[in-house]
Amino acid sequence: MPMFMDVHVNMVGVTPEALQQAHQADLDIQGEEGVDFQQAWADPNTGHVFCLSEAPSAEAVKRIHERAGHPADEVHEITVTA
């Protein structure tokens, strides 16, 4: 299944607890789109949040994030790894 890295750019001041709550909101509904969110990282100073997932499409990732209340600003398919 394809892997994706998505980016949220407007979460300045995000706390570990808030990141966990947002990630859990994704996990709670991810199966409805066949998405498997694996990890989330944040930089509270810049407000950037990064999420790694396996999904059937970038659109499925976008739909889950939108429904969970935190739309992704960018979704990138990972096609090359080292």
> What is the structure's pLDDT at 14?
97
Please state the domain count of the chain: 1
Nearest to 38 by CA among 68, 4, 62: 4
- List residues bridging with 8 in a β-sheet: 49
Whole-number Å distance between alpha carbons of 66 and 71: 4
Taking only the tens place, the pLDDT of each residue in 1-36 is 999 999 999 999 999 999 999 999 999 999 999 999
For residue 74, name the pLDDT band (cuts at 50, 70, 90): very high
Task: Give residue 40's domain range.
Answer: 3-78
Q: Reduced to 3 DSSP states, what percent helix, strand and coil does the chain have, rounded to the nearest 5? A: 35, 30, 35
Tell me if residue 20 falls in helix, strand or coil: helix
> What is the structure's pLDDT at 63?
98
Taking only the tens place, the pLDDT of each residue in 43-73 is 999 999 999 999 999 999 999 999 999 999 9
CATH number, residue 53: 3.30.70.3090
DSSP conformation class of 45: T
